[in-house]
Amino acid sequence: MKLSKIILVSIPVLIIAPLAFVYSGIFNVAATATHDPVTNWLLTQTRIRSIEVRSKGIEIPDLDDEKLQLAGINDFDSMCAECHTAPGRQPSSLALGLNPPAPDLAERALEVSPGKLFWVTKNGIRMTGMPAWGVSHSDDEIWPVIAFLQVLPDLDAEDYQEMLKDAKGMGHHAH
């Protein structure tokens, strides 16, 4: 077959096949449905690379600042715990229904750099339940949560409650 003929035949196929896929309703958008391994790999790698590239060069403030960490626990408790859970808490009904699930940030904070944690918290991850907090919060309001994430892995349920008490009145979501 000549090249021109191949192109002539393949163009309608390339257009019709995706349209048929979309309009047939064959794709299940339910949050309870799972991705096939190839789509899953593609989505995961795309997310990892996108965050890696975009979080480069972010200037990190002093995250060891105890005041920042205390402000951060109140904000974490109000803004993040519902989806990501907190030490000693069972996952909420909301968290149980998320696909992809919201990871345990106590585990992720050990593996993900502060710059990446900040970028994701500020910008969110589209087509998942992860909101862009930067739409409603300034950078200065987001950094306390990132400072808190640095100590979260060391906290058990009791420590978490203690720290919440110590943080009374601090952070922009002060209790």
**Binding residues vs ligand HEC (CB under 6 A):** 47, 79-80, 82-84, 98, 100, 102-103, 105, 108, 112, 117, 120-121, 125, 128-131, 133, 145
The dihedral region occupied by 124, where left means phi > 0, alpha psi between -120 and 50, and beta the remainder, is left
The answer to whether 154 and 73 are in contact (CB under 8 A) is: no
Q: Nearest distance from residue 120's CB to ligand HEC, in Å?
A: 4
- Minimum CB separation of residue 81 from ligand HEC in Å reads 8
Residue 106 or 117 with smaller CB distance to ligand HEC: 117
- Kindly report whether the peptide bond that precedes residue 37 is cis, defined as omega within 30 degrees of 0: no
Q: Per the structure block, which two tokens stand in for 152?
A: 């979260």
**Given the complex with ligand HEC, which of 4 and 32 has the nearer CB atom?**
32
Q: Measured from the CB atom, is 92 or 161 closer to ligand HEC?
A: 92
- What number of residues does the chain have? 175
Q: Is residue 134 within 8 Å of residue 123, measured between CB atoms?
A: yes
Closest CB to ligand HEC among residues 79, 155: 79
Q: How far is the CB of 52 from ligand HEC (least distance, A)?
A: 10
Give the integer Cα–Cα distance in Å for 175 and 169: 6
